[in-house]
Chains A and B, each alone.
Chain A
Amino acid sequence: MSEAENKNSNRDHPQMSQSQSQLATGDTGFAKKAMPEILLSGYQRRAGAFDELLAKDGKIFPHYAKLLGELEEFGTRELARRADACQRFVHEHGITYNVYGDPRGMERPWQLDPIPFIIAPDEWQTIETGLIQRATLLNKILADCYGAQDLIRSRWLSPALVFGQPDFLRPCHGIKIPGDTFLHFYAADLSRSPDGRWWVVSDRTQIPTGAGYALANRLVTSRILPEPFRENQVHRLAGFFLAAQNALSQLAPRQADKARVVMLTPGPHNETYFEQAYLARYLGYMLVEGQDLTVRDNHVWLKTLSGLERVDVILRRVDDDFCDPLELINNSILGVPGLVEAVRAGTVVIANALGSGLVQSPAFMSFLPGLCRHLLNEPLKLPSVATWWCGQKIAREHVLKNLDRLVVKPAFRTHLKIAEAERGELKRRIEFDPDLFVAQERVELSTAPSWDKNSLAAQPVSLRVFLVADGDGGYRVMPGGLARTSPESAGKFISMQRGGSSKDTWIPSTTPVEEITLLHASNQSVELRRTGNNLPSRLADNFFWLGRYSERADATSRLLRSALLRFNPERGGGARPLLSPLLQTLEAQGQLPGISARPELWANAEAFEAELLAAIFDPERAGSLRQTAEQLQRLAMLVRDRTSNDMWRVLSQIDDRLATTAPKQVMLAGDAVGVLNQTLMGLAAFHGLARENMTRAQAWRFLDMGLRLERAMYLCTLLDATLRSSDAENPSLLEAVLEVVDSSITFRSRYNLLPTVPAVFDLVLLDDKNPRSILFQIKQLAKHFQRLPKERGDAASPGKTILENCLSRLERADARELASASSNWRESELAATIQHTLQALPQLSNAIAASYFAHSAISRTGRGEMQ
């Protein structure tokens, strides 16, 4: 009899028609209820693995009973609907995970299984105490290794484990760490063996990642399964983060209420960047990169638009050896030069302390039982997976004898590629450099119910649990964690990098849970503020370019749309001369490079159309709309923690739409126009959100400056090309110009006649009421300049001078000049003004960059004077 059948014969009641009202009574008799028949029809316990849902006798464990009862109530269809909603929420919240070495699909949607992982309260207690002990122990080991090193001298710890490890950071030895707390955060990966015991599979002490994903999982899961979430009285996660917030602000060398905590990120390419941005926002910390910080007078400062602001605590998501290029690593210039010295001077605290990666080595696991008795006077409560470090003779001999049975791993963070080594080679390497290897028992993971093709399936699961130092020498455990599942039984090693999925983790409470919020308690008086934190220069830069690219996408779409609409293969080349100002603008701005030098295109309608389509869809083509959209999304990611989810969503959709339209596919010009229309709608939504939903602070200002500058560039190029065209007087051409700049309606309402050159130029160049005119852009830019933080020194800012010149020329200009014969237009004062503006705009962009973005390059000296 198979296990599934066995299960079925055990059920109490065959009827599955519990009504919704019965459910709502909070009836606790689920165990007595029908065995969830349909949901579990395909559920197979795996031979030799512990199952989280079903006991050996096939009965549902009591802590899963409520959930299973509710799920069965929903029925398969409803569950499928909620599973879809789950993926949709993940997408809408932009929860992603970056996969290395995947340039196109760098941002991968986070995988979340809708069925939570549930751990019984009493069992959780065991895990909690075990991990608190472990964090305390690891912290003590770190304090000794970076201090007295008694453990090494008294042989509790093999010296090779410390001295031979790249993660032992010698410059950090002897630094006084406040409260001797190295590990402000700690995480452990757990798995459950077939006998039902929990084991620690790995320790995370360098940068314990995942707490943010656990929080995101909770957000989604509690929303798609609100009823079971309530019924199970699941412990909330907020208390953990509140404790983290309190602990971090208390670390500040300055008074806690003035403390500035920042989160240091390696940047958007890091695999867990989403989590960093998410947590930074949730905890209320500014997300900064190394180049945003500087050390002066042995203090750490944040570079903002209006000067330097002191930083007290750095929550780092950067590996410690990349934190200070002066002292920590020799071949990188990432990080903040002088940081270690500032830490040494005690003016800044870093969490986790620099050097904390040391005890993350799996080799430590074999020493923990002894160290625990020695340091804490008690046995190790939660065992580690059986580990042999080859640096020890007896362990090495065991490993060499049992190579087939064991999993051999690098003991330290190195670039050893073990998987590829064949056995004989591996043996030789272990014998030559034994310290570098550990071997571990293969882990047979337990299985938990997961959503799989409309029913529940048992999938291998492991759990990451998170701890935070409470500031009084103790630790607090997040009640929950990041459960990870792998689709197939190959789950010896679950990694999000290799396509696993994740789950929310529920710890049910026996009593009603308390609601906690990270916002300040209401009895606390809050100082009202009208300005937020000052904007780091790097973000100002990103906002500026976000503005520029969004307008570039807009202008490109408009030009291409008008070109496509006017392009009619039936008419042959007839309409093309009238298109030339549009095409020249696209050429000058990089979308149709070299098109005027390819007259053969004019004779070949198909090739010409293909060229236009490529300028829209071709992802490989420099300057294509598709590329611009990608740039937009990249920039949006860089300012992710400063923009709303809506803005992010709108930009993602633009890129998605262009990306899903296959470039090679034979397409009609009409289809392309449809895509352009949608793109323009998306951009309008983006600009609308920026306009209506962003406070008029520095971020918005730089975004708008970028937009104005880019728009002015396109307008100048278009008007310049129009004046050069021999058909400039042709009303069809002028109609096209008006259409591109969205001013046809205005024109018609004013003139009620066919467009003429002076009237069009007056409207598009000089009318400061027209938001699409050049003068309007320049005036807006000038307004922004007045509100920017003042530069140091008295010298007039170069940007301001450039703008004033443009403005005075434009204000003197008069479009009536163009009323006379067309032959003089190119030599007219107006043409010169347009030319002048066109040349001034790139200079203005450079001036803004020089004054406000100033990414000074960092370089290294002092390696070259040896004989």
Chain B
Amino acid sequence: MNYHITHRTLYEYAAPVSVSHHVARLEPLVTATQSRDSFSLQIFPEPALRKARTDYFGNQLCFFAIQEIHSKLEIITHSRVTVQPRKPAQNESTTPWESVAEMFRDPVSPEVVEPYQFVFDSPQIRASLELADYARESFGAETPLLAGARDLTRRIFEDFKFDPRATTVATPLEEVWVKRRGVCQDFAHLGIAFLRSLGLPARYVSGYLRTRPPEGKPRLVGVDASHAWFSIFSPGNGWIDFDPTNNVQPAEEHITVAYGRDFGDVSPVAGILTGGGAHEVKVSVDVEPLE
């Protein structure tokens, strides 16, 4: 499947900004099932300094600094990607989760050093005994790893209500856990927290999701949004994605932009401004399927 994704971010500041520094992670990744055919990133006003590089996790990032006085900032990306259908994982035949968890206890073999990064607490995700208890309902004794993950995904979908007003990006996970409400970012964080509480490696994925218009209606342009889900490391299969917001295993309709331990590692645009006061942000995403 080919997509053309347009992602616009517009910041409007109440007071003039004299200097701003930003890091943007908006360039889709190249993976085994995803190729990046083209990518462009435009920034207004034109930054005095702009540098692209690869971050610690292998994501493409763009650092830029604007040094002229500005009261708005607009970032527009155009990405063309091709997504191959992922092979459906044989969830039921994967290794029992306990032996996977055992692999990630000391001493860890060199082959799993890379996924090992994602077993630990990260700034926004803290494992706990309580979360482990919840997760164990999906991970009974000898449960195949991915079967457990699939069930966990379903339970998050059923037990937690999608509610954009319940949380903000600053809402701690503990609060999401208590309120049982949140958005895709919260659900991805939850899934990761459950898995890590069992000692399993899990990571955060940011990206886009193709949305389908209601039957018989035309596709609306620009109403899509950034999306997030989680991924679990399965020995022999590699990283396998699960989307708890939609209760699916991503196949052809999820476009991956970046991986990290949690949202903090992959935030699409993060900036520090000198001046600026209050600000408003408008984001529009359009995921256009090309055929």
Contact surface of A with B, Cβ cutoff 8 Å: 152-155, 158-160, 163-164, 166, 170-171, 173-174, 294-298, 325-327, 329-331, 333, 337-338, 341, 391-393, 428, 432-435, 856-867
Chain B contacts for A296, CB-based, 8 A: 19, 48, 65, 67
> Cβ of A330 and Cβ of B281 under 8 Å apart?
no
Min CB gap A432→B, angstroms = 6
Q: Considering residues A326, A341, A859, A864, which has the most beta carbons from chain B within 10 angstroms of its beta carbon? A: A859
Q: Identify whether the interface residues of A are mostly helix, strand, loop, or mixed.
A: loop
A-B contact pairs, 26 of them (CB 8 A): A153-B113, A158-B106, A160-B106, A160-B119, A163-B117, A163-B119, A170-B265, A171-B55, A171-B56, A174-B56, A297-B49, A297-B67, A329-B123, A341-B51, A393-B105, A432-B132, A856-B274, A859-B279, A861-B273, A861-B279, A862-B268, A862-B270, A862-B271, A866-B226, A867-B226, A867-B227
> Cβ of A159 and Cβ of B116 under 8 Å apart?
yes
> Cβ of A863 and Cβ of B65 under 8 Å apart?
no
Min CB gap A332→B, angstroms = 11
How distant is the Cα of A435 from the Cα of B57 in the complex, in angstroms?
A: 22
Q: Which residue of B lies closest to A335 (CB)?
A: B272
> Cβ of B228 and Cβ of A866 under 8 Å apart?
yes
Q: Is B77 an interface residue (CB 8 A)?
A: no
Q: Identify whether the interface residues of B are mostly helix, strand, loop, or mixed.
A: mixed
Chain B contacts for A294, CB-based, 8 A: 19, 274
> Cβ of A155 and Cβ of B110 under 8 Å apart?
yes
Question: Please, how many residues of chain B have a CB less than 8 angstroms from a CB on the other chain?
Answer: 60
Chain A contacts for B127, CB-based, 8 A: 433
Interface 0/1 of B168-193, CB less than 8 Å to A? 11100000000000011100000000
Besides A164-B120, A861-B273, 9 other CB < 8 A contacts? A171-B55, A297-B67, A337-B272, A341-B21, A861-B276, A861-B279, A861-B281, A862-B269, A866-B226
Q: Is B9 an interface residue (CB 8 A)?
A: yes
> Cβ of A866 and Cβ of B274 under 8 Å apart?
no
Min CB gap A664→B, angstroms = 45
Chain B, 94-114, CB within 8 A of any chain A CB: 105-108, 110, 113
Chain A contacts for B290, CB-based, 8 A: none
Min CB gap B185→A, angstroms = 5
> Cβ of B23 and Cβ of A864 under 8 Å apart?
no
Q: Which residue of B lies closest to A432 (CB)?
A: B129
Chain B contacts for A338, CB-based, 8 A: 21, 65, 272
How distant is the Cα of A275 from the Cα of B146 in the complex, in angstroms?
A: 56
Contact of A160 among B11, B108, B267, B283 (CB under 8 A): B108
> Cβ of B277 and Cβ of A857 under 8 Å apart?
yes
Q: Which residue of B lies closest to A152 (CB)?
A: B113
How distant is the Cα of A163 from the Cα of B263 in the complex, in angstroms?
A: 17
How distant is the Cα of A159 from the Cα of B65 in the complex, in angstroms?
A: 35
Chain A contacts for B235, CB-based, 8 A: none
> Cβ of A326 and Cβ of B270 under 8 Å apart?
yes
Q: Considering residues A327, A433, A865, which has the most beta carbons from chain B within 10 angstroms of its beta carbon? A: A865
Q: Is B161 an interface residue (CB 8 A)?
A: no
Q: Which residue of A lies closest to B276 (CB)?
A: A859
How distant is the Cα of A152 from the Cα of B23 in the complex, in angstroms?
A: 29
Chain B, 12-34, CB within 8 A of any chain A CB: 18-19, 21-23
Chain B contacts for A153, CB-based, 8 A: 110, 113
How distant is the Cα of A296 from the Cα of B49 in the complex, in angstroms?
A: 9
Chain B contacts for A333, CB-based, 8 A: 272
Chain A contacts for B213, CB-based, 8 A: none
Min CB gap B112→A, angstroms = 9
Chain B contacts for A295, CB-based, 8 A: 19, 21, 65
How distant is the Cα of A341 from the Cα of B61 in the complex, in angstroms?
A: 12
Evaluate whether A867 and B184 lie within 8 angstroms (CB atoms) in the complex, with A297-B67, A393-B106 already known.
yes
> Cβ of A861 and Cβ of B11 under 8 Å apart?
yes
How distant is the Cα of A325 from the Cα of B279 in the complex, in angstroms?
A: 18
> Cβ of B107 and Cβ of A326 under 8 Å apart?
no
Chain B contacts for A862, CB-based, 8 A: 22, 267-271, 281
Interface 0/1 of B47-71, CB less than 8 Å to A? 0110100011100000101010000
> Cβ of B48 and Cβ of A297 under 8 Å apart?
yes
Q: Is B289 an interface residue (CB 8 A)?
A: no
